[in-house]
């Protein structure tokens, strides 16, 4: 007899037929004698709809009240899922995050889990019930309702699996697992049987948004092995776990193309200490995330100056531009250029740690396609380059073919 945590995302519980389908799947596990804890998201669109209602009233609603409001989305789904299980004669009980013992800090709308005391969950499981827990929510020790940030039901599931020492944690979603590339861009993309936490994190932050990044970090920290799979079929999914020796044999696990980046270039920044600090402090204060940064020192005549380029998420471009323009007097650079027509292409794999020549092969592949490389950044397990957006799809296909097949 195993203890299983299953999480079903918004599309998997998107209407009552889907909820009945979830109930059937849960019943299969429960009827073969397993203890099952189910974590559900709000039905797809519900959280966005609630946010819209609040923002129709005022652009910046109170964060405490937003948590009160958003937590209702998941509460609808837990009750409906319990009702669907009752309808097929499976004992089931729904619980809010608080009832499941999920205690968080008091940072409304992006609370962190402090600890979990799942006494009620254990009691209900021991009594033979399936337990359905509302994802994405918790409670402070003073009894205030909190939420864990968008996509936070994943975190609820992983954290509960850790607290309950579950034998199995399954994340059901609307894709079959994690692929070597987005199958819509690369027809030959393959489903990965397994992937390491670090690779999953890089691919998620690169736009392959299968799961909330925080939940993968949490799983890594607590060693929670989990499977990402589809609730709409019975295909085996992708196992996410700590890297193993055999995983290192594969140099590149996945390739991604992020079309959502923009480049900002400051031309003629005086080459003296404190300039980069001033610029990126101001950008950070405006809560704009910077990804790649490149600096070129010019060795021409006159006082030394540098060109400084960096990338931001496209929706943040205007904000970044405003901040930079506000610094013109103080810094005394020549001009600002922006480019929205870039794509960020990345290859990810823990095998890169132990293989040489990966960058050369990537650059050669791009050269053969006449794709020009803009900025370059690397980590131990990733190489990213910016390229012309118009050539993005051609480039990712060629790079996938060169490294993966």
Residue 150 CB, shortest distance to Mg ion, in Å, is 8
Say whether 130 sits in a helix, a strand or coil: strand
Residue 160 CB, shortest distance to Mg ion, in Å, is 16
Q: Out of Mg ion, ligand ASP, none, which partner does residue 152 contact, by CB within 5 to 8 A per kind?
A: ligand ASP
Residue 291 CB, shortest distance to ligand ASP, in Å, is 23
Nearer residue to Mg ion within complex by CB, 10 or 349: 10
Are 187 and 401 within 8 A, CB to CB?
no
How many CA atoms within 13 Å lie on the side-chain side of 249? Answer: 5
- Would you tell me which residues interact with ligand ASP (CB under 6 A)? 10, 41-42, 47, 73, 135-136, 150-154
Please return the burial class of 147, using the count of CB atoms within 10 Å of its CB with bins 0-12, 13-18 and 19+.
buried
Q: Out of Mg ion, ligand ASP, none, which partner does residue 101 contact, by CB within 5 to 8 A per kind?
A: none
Residue nearest to ligand ASP (CB): 153
Residue 192 CB, shortest distance to Mg ion, in Å, is 21
- Would you tell me which residues interact with Mg ion (CB under 5 A)? 9-10, 41, 151
- Alpha-carbon distance of 373 to 366, in angstroms, equals 8
Nearer residue to ligand ASP within complex by CB, 14 or 254: 14
Element (H, E) at 362: helix 358-368
Are 103 and 117 within 8 A, CB to CB?
yes
State both tokens at 84.
């669907």
- Alpha-carbon distance of 327 to 86, in angstroms, equals 63
Residue 39 CB, shortest distance to ligand ASP, in Å, is 9
Nearer residue to Mg ion within complex by CB, 67 or 342: 67
Nearer residue to Mg ion within complex by CB, 215 or 346: 215
Give the torsion through C-alpha atoms of 124, 37, 133, 128, to 10 deg: -20
Are 342 and 261 within 8 A, CB to CB?
yes
Are 31 and 195 within 8 A, CB to CB?
no
b/e code 268-291 from CB counts within 10 Å (16+ = b): bbeeeeebeeebeebbeeeebebb
Nearer residue to ligand ASP within complex by CB, 151 or 177: 151
Q: Out of ligand ASP, Mg ion, none, which partner does residue 11 contact, by CB within 5 to 8 A per kind?
A: none
User: Among candidates 181, 199, 206, which has minimal Cα distance to 292?
Assistant: 206
Q: Out of ligand ASP, Mg ion, none, which partner does residue 73 contact, by CB within 5 to 8 A per kind?
A: ligand ASP
Residue 44 CB, shortest distance to ligand ASP, in Å, is 8
State both tokens at 136.
């994405």
Nearer residue to Mg ion within complex by CB, 10 or 118: 10
Residue 163 CB, shortest distance to ligand ASP, in Å, is 18
Nearer residue to ligand ASP within complex by CB, 51 or 290: 51
């Amino acid at each position: 007899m195993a203890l299983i945590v299953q999480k079903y995302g918004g599309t998997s519980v998107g209407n009552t037929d889907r909820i009945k389908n979830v109930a059937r799947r849960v019943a299969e596990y429960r009827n073969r004698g397993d203890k099952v804890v189910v974590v559900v998201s709000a039905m797809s669109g519900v959280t966005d709809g609630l946010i819209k209602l609040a923002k129709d009233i005022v652009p910046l609603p109170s964060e405490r009240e937003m948590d009160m409001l958003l937590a209702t989305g998941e509460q609808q789904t837990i009750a409906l899922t319990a009702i669907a299980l009752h309808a097929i004669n499976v004992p089931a009980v729904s619980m809010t995050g608080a009832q499941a013992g999920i205690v968080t800090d008091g940072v409304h709308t992006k609370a962190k889990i402090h600890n979990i005391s799942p006494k009620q969950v254990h009691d209900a499981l021991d009594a033979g019930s399936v337990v359905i827990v509302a994802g994405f929510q918790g409670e402070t020790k003073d009894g205030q309702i909190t939420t864990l940030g968008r996509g936070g039901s994943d975190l609820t599931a992983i954290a509960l699996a850790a607290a309950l020492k579950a034998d199995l944690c399954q994340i059901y979603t609307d894709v079959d697992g994690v692929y070597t590339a987005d199958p819509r861009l690369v027809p030959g993309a393959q489903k990965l049987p397994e992937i390491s936490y670090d690779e999953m994190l890089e691919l998620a932050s690169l736009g392959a948004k299968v799961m909330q990044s925080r939940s993968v970090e949490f799983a890594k920290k607590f060693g929670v092995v989990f499977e990402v799979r589809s609730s709409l079929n019975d295909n085996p999914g992708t196992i996410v776990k700590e890297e193993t020796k055999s995983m290192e044999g594969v140099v590149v696990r996945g390739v991604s193309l992020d079309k959502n980046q923009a480049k900002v270039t400051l031309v003629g920044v005086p080459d003296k200490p404190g300039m980069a600090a001033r610029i990126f402090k101001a950008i950070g204060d405006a809560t704009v995330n910077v990804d790649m940064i490149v600096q070129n020192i010019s060795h021409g005549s006159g006082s030394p100056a540098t060109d400084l380029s960096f990338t931001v998420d496209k929706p943040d471009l205007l904000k970044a531009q405003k901040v930079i323009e506000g610094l013109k007097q103080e810094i005394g650079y020549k001009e600002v250029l922006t480019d929205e027509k870039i794509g960020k292409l990345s290859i990810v794999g823990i095998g890169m740690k132990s293989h040489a020549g990966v960058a050369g092969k990537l650059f050669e592949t791009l050269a053969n396609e006449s794709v020009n490389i803009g900025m370059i950044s690397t980590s131990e397990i990733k190489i990213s380059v910016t390229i012309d957006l118009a050539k993005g799809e051609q480039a990712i296909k060629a790079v996938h073919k060169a490294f993966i097949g």
